[in-house]
Structure 1
Amino acid sequence: MFLTDNKLQYPVRVEKPNPLFARALQQAIGGVEGEIRVAMQYFFQACGARGDTRFRDLLMNTAAEELGHIEMLATAVALNLEGAPLTMQEEGAQDAAVGAVMGGMNLKNMLSAGLSAMPVDSDGVPFDMSHIYASGNVAADMVANIAAESTGRTLAVRLWEMTDDPGMKDMLSYLIARDTMHQNQFMAALEDLGGAKEVFPIPNSFPQSDEAQSFSYAFLGFQSDGSDPAPGRWSEGTSPDGKGSFASQPMQALGEKPDLGKARPGSGAQSDQM
């Protein structure tokens, strides 16, 4: 169940409408780093959460918050588009649309949405849900969420740098702060699950005795001259999960050249393939 009081989660104001910035804001709505992505990701993770019900609560509350962020950004897009010509017949509108693409705005926002936001990215490409990660593994989902919030915060910072509008900077500063919280809350959730030594490798339910353990903590180099890869924390010392020690080595081909045999008759292959 979802409830609304028809008020924005945080104030949204635009002092000087900017159609180009409206287009940029669309990336925060429907881009792969955007709010539709994280809202749906946390929602489906919550719907499929099993075990400790606190994690479902964490995810569903955050999904609801992200829906509010979509509402804020959609409002910001509409307010910024108020500076665009309302019809193609207005003086100068034809030149703006054809020559300058109406100051950089995406024409879809006018032609398909009447100067409103859409579930698309900054190029007008609809978000297709292909970047929704809901694995059914709570630890894997938390790791995916940290990455999602990190890229989302990076985008919000870039948008903050793009605008001089005080209202837009204020709204984005709020969204950046919430991304800070969300990164930390998902890292805290991993700690609550036991931290790196309990959580990793994911899934921790699979016995490592059944994996090829000689490769479990080996950093493999693929330099053409056979030299060792550049050293780093990932190639020496105890692994973060505490279950192995890193080592570094050049990789050598362990398999044979593949031979698939003859093509099947009727497969459409050339006769000399059969």
Structure 2
Amino acid sequence: MFMRMDRLLIDIPRLKEPDPNAAAAIQELLGGKFGEMSTLNNYLHQSFNFRGRNKVRPFYDLVANITAEELGHVELVTTAVNMCLEGYTKPGDPDDAPLKKGKDMRNSHHFIASAQTSMLANSMGQPWTGDYVFNSGNLVLDLLHNFFLECGARTHKMRVYEMTDNPVAREIVGYLLVRGGVHVMAYAKALEKLTGVEMTKMLPIPNLENKAFSETRKFEEKGLHRAIYRFSPNDYKEIDKIWNGVHPEDGQPLYVKDGPPEGAPIPDLEEKPEMFSPGLSSEEIEELAARLSRNI
């Protein structure tokens, strides 16, 4: 089961001006083949379907625990898309075409299929699909796939970073490069334990360290490139049988941190009357609040 907290993994900046085209680019990191929906659902279903987990508990713990962090990554990327879209259109009479600006944007689906919010789709508007999930049941093969998946995800993050100087996009990509780098190395170390093949010698893939991207540096200075969070008060305690040793880039010790990150408040999305969202007038909201108060 899962416990949810109403917090975002990190605080993200508020934009002075909306940037729908940056939102379209960030969509790739959510609903693309190597996006967060893919990493989440690969690890989620591998953990659900894991055979013999009590005999190889550290490997199960690793996959299951990373799954929980991926849920937070989906939320983070979703929020970034929403922040880039926030405030692009204004309320108006339907005959005045208040959504007119949306038709010229990179992804007009944001203005039709959603209330100027994220979608489970890539940067071209193509929907995410369960066909992106790989779960063979063979431990080595699934871990090898996860290693490949995280390397592909890292490549796409780096390219999105180079596509836009949008501060929201770069903030979340900087964080995700650091955290994704942890997952790449975790799967590499798991494969080393299983097979003896020194997978970490191939890293980083692509061959460019995170510190080349300025928004990663503050997270690495905090040691987040060396930490695995344990997203459970009582479970997944055998992660440290895999996640141990030192980081290959700076020689500092790897460590397991009990509990999730402190996090930050989730930005509240304003009402969008021109999108009929949430579809309640101010009077109706006040009446609803009063009715709910009476029921306490």
> Does TM-score exceed 0.5, indicating one fold?
yes
Give 1:38-117 correspondences, 5 Å limit.
Answer: 38-51=39-52, 52-86=56-90, 89=94, 96-98=101-103, 101=104, 103-104=105-106, 106-117=107-118
| Displacement of 1:122 | 1.2
| Cα offsets for 1:121-170 (capped at 9, x unmatched) | 11211111101111101100111011100110111111111222334322
Matches within 5 A, 1:21-32: 21-32=22-33
Deviations along 1:42-84, one digit per CA (max 9) or x if unpaired, are: 0111112223122121111111111111101111111101142
**Does the 8 Å contact 2:89/2:99 carry over to 1?**
no
How far did 1:108 drift? 1.9
TM-score normalized with structure 2 length: 0.61
The alignment partner of 1:130 has SS state of helix
Higher relative contact order (CA 8 A, sep 6+): 2
Is 1:12 aligned to residue 12 of structure 2?
yes
Q: Name the counterpart of 1:189.
A: 190
| Matched-pair contact (CA < 8 Å) for 2:26–2:169 | no
**What's the C-alpha RMSD, in Å, of the aligned pairs?**
2.1
In 2, the alpha carbon distance for the partners of 1:144 and 1:86 equals: 45
Write the letter of the residue equivalent to 1:10: I
Tell whether the 8 Å contact from 2:22 to 2:166 is kept in structure 1 after alignment.
no
CA spacing shift, 1:180–1:94, aligned 2, 3 Å: closer
Q: Tell me the equivalent position of 1:175.
A: 176
Partners of 1:86 and 1:50 in 2: CA distance: 53
Q: Is the 8 A contact 2:102 2:111 kept in 1?
A: no
Find runs of 4+ consecutive structure 1 residues off by over 4 angstroms.
86-95
3-state SS, counterpart of residue 130 of structure 2: coil
Identity %: 32
1:94, CA displacement in angstroms? 6.3
Please tell me whether the aligned partners of residues 18 and 83 of structure 1 are also in contact (alpha carbons under 8 angstroms): no
Distance (whole Å) between structure 2 residues aligned to residue 47 and residue 40 of structure 1: 10
Q: Give the 3-state SS of the residue equivalent to 2:110 in structure 1.
A: helix
Name the structure 2 match of 1:155.
156
Q: Structure 1 length as normaliser, TM-score?
A: 0.65
3-state SS, counterpart of residue 120 of structure 1: coil
Aligned to 2:119: 118
Q: Which moved more, 1:25-34 or 1:80-89?
A: 80-89
Amino acid at match of 1:112: A
Q: Which has the larger radius of gyration?
A: 1
Distance 1:185 1:118 in 2: 29
For 1:73 and 1:90, the matched residues in 2 are separated by 34
Give the partner amino acid of 1:13. Answer: P
Q: SS of the residue aligned with 1:193? A: helix
> Any conservation in 2 of the 1:35–1:70 contact (CA below 8 Å)?
yes
Whether the aligned pair in 2 keeps the contact of 1:14 and 1:168 (CA below 8 Å) is: no
